[in-house]
Amino acid sequence: MLINDLSRRLLNSRPFLDDAIRRVMDRSWFVLGPEVVAFEKAFAAYIGAPHCVGLANGTDAIELALKAFGVGQADLVATVANAGMYTTTALLAIGAEPLFLDVNVESRNVTLSEVQRALDTGVKAIVVTHLYGLAVPEITEIATLCRARNVKLLEDCAQSHGARLDGHRVGTFGDAASFSFYPTKNLGALGDGGAVVTNDVEVAECVKRLRQYGWSDKYQVEIAGARNSRLDEIQAAVLSEFLPDLDAANVRRRSIATRYSASISHSSIKVSPTYGEEFVAHLYTLRAANRDSLRQHLKTCDIATDVHYPIPDYLQPAFGSRYAHVQLPNTEQLCHEILTLPCFPEMTDVEVAHVIAKVNAW
Ligand SMILES: Cc1ncc(COP(=O)(O)O)c(C=O)c1O
């Protein structure tokens, strides 16, 4: 069993995807055209923010949002280190310096006290990642604190499209939010895609310029540090087709996760807590001290698993000893213990029961 079988989603949606792609080809307008405008409008309305700017991928969304905040060379920016290195990659591209924050082992997400530490250290901006599809539990307090200290807050929502806390979707708490539409995401394209969503018209206008060479008008470059990072028409058309189904798909993901947490019972395994609509179950992760042995056992049962993520950003080989002084105990524990089980909307109840039985039989 695959960890996420995209061929099933395509099987169900092929007729309307074919129509969407044909629509773009018939128009022969392939980059930054009416499909991008329509998707940006629909996605902004879905999230509950006035502005959405489509981009080439989610890593660019982090980078360009931070640039629009005014983050530049040598600025200190806080991020977690257990979220796959994406934010750190964006920071390195800017020339900014990451300040790594620890997470809570249950929620796997950043905490208010760590954000407080970042503010006291003098960061220029904070990136919070709503990891695995869970809204950062203290996001409201974090946003209030950042506002009071005049520090910009970017929410990385690449794994949490549609998660809702206190009636608000993630992506509306901070100054801006970054999204990825990589094919496996809860809202995924048929290739790369990303977006910045924001309440701030100046941030939106700046990201629009940054995504297209810094142009204020054609061939007139008004701002430096820009690039080509455009969402293309075919991906936008595909995303518009998938968007109406996102909430139902998230409900299905969450019901699979809830079942795992209720039915996996093993003395060496700690299941993920059960959540409500603040969790859209992008990934279902459990913890096991002997994680690799469980992984091997499931492999022999033909059940694919993965580790999101095995290496804290600051221990990545590319850094050598640059961050030898950094030690985040919860982050490191999670990197050793975490394991991701198959969890995608098209999984059948029989398959879910099969995974549970094999995990319990370990
Ligand atoms: C938490 C998180 N942030 C950022 C990204 C980057 O998105 P992309 O792969 O579209 O650049 C991803 C996805 O891969 C992600 O999972």
For the chain, the domains span 6-244, 245-360
- The residue with tokens 């909430």 is 247
Distance 31 CA to ligand 1 centre (A): 22
| Fold classification of 6-244 (topology level) | Aspartate Aminotransferase; domain 2 (3.40.640)
- Closest residue by CA, ligand 1 atom 2: 158
Ligand 1 contact, 180 CB (< 6 A): yes
Ligand 1 contact, 129 CB (< 6 A): yes
Return all residues near 22 (Cβ < 8 A) that are at least 6 apart: none
| Residue 12: per-residue pLDDT | 86
- Give per-residue pLDDT as tens, 244-287: 999 999 999 999 999 999 999 999 999 999 999 999 999 999 99
Ligand 1 contact, 340 CB (< 6 A): no
- Return the amino acid letter for 228: N
Is residue 40 within 8 Å of 46, Cβ to Cβ? no
- Give per-residue pLDDT as tens, 201-247: 999 999 999 999 999 999 999 999 999 999 999 999 999 999 999 99
CB neighbours of residue 127 within 10 Å = 29
Distance 219 CA to ligand 1 centre (A): 30
Distance 179 CA to ligand 1 centre (A): 8
Cis ω for the linkage preceding 309 (within 30 of 0)? yes
> Pairing between strand 164-165 and 168-169?
antiparallel
- The residue with tokens 């939010």 is 177
Distance 133 CA to ligand 1 centre (A): 12
CA dist 217 and 232 (Å) reads 19
| Residue 187: per-residue pLDDT | 98
Ligand 1 contact, 57 CB (< 6 A): yes
Residues of the chain where predicted confidence (pLDDT) is lower than 50: none
Among 3.30.2080.10, 3.40.50.720, 3.90.1150.10, 3.30.413.10, name the CATH number for the domain at 245-360. Answer: 3.90.1150.10
Model's pTM, two decimal places? 0.98
CA dist 279 and 260 (Å) reads 14
Residue to mutate, 180, 187, 285, 308, ligand 1, most ligand atoms under 8 Å from C-beta:
180
Distance 87 CA to ligand 1 centre (A): 8
Distance 180 CA to ligand 1 centre (A): 6
Q: Which atom of ligand 1 is nearest to the CA of 62?
A: 4
CA dist 114 and 239 (Å) reads 35
Is residue 285 within 8 Å of 103, Cβ to Cβ? no
Distance 33 CA to ligand 1 centre (A): 24
Distance 178 CA to ligand 1 centre (A): 9
Ligand 1 contact, 156 CB (< 6 A): yes
- Closest residue by CA, ligand 1 atom 8: 58
- The residue with tokens 């524990």 is 333
Structure tokens at 198: 């924001």
Ligand 1 contact, 58 CB (< 6 A): yes
- For 32, 197, 268, 283, 354, the CA distances from 290, given in Å and listed in that order, are 49, 40, 8, 20, 21
- Closest residue by CA, ligand 1 atom 12: 158
Distance 185 CA to ligand 1 centre (A): 9
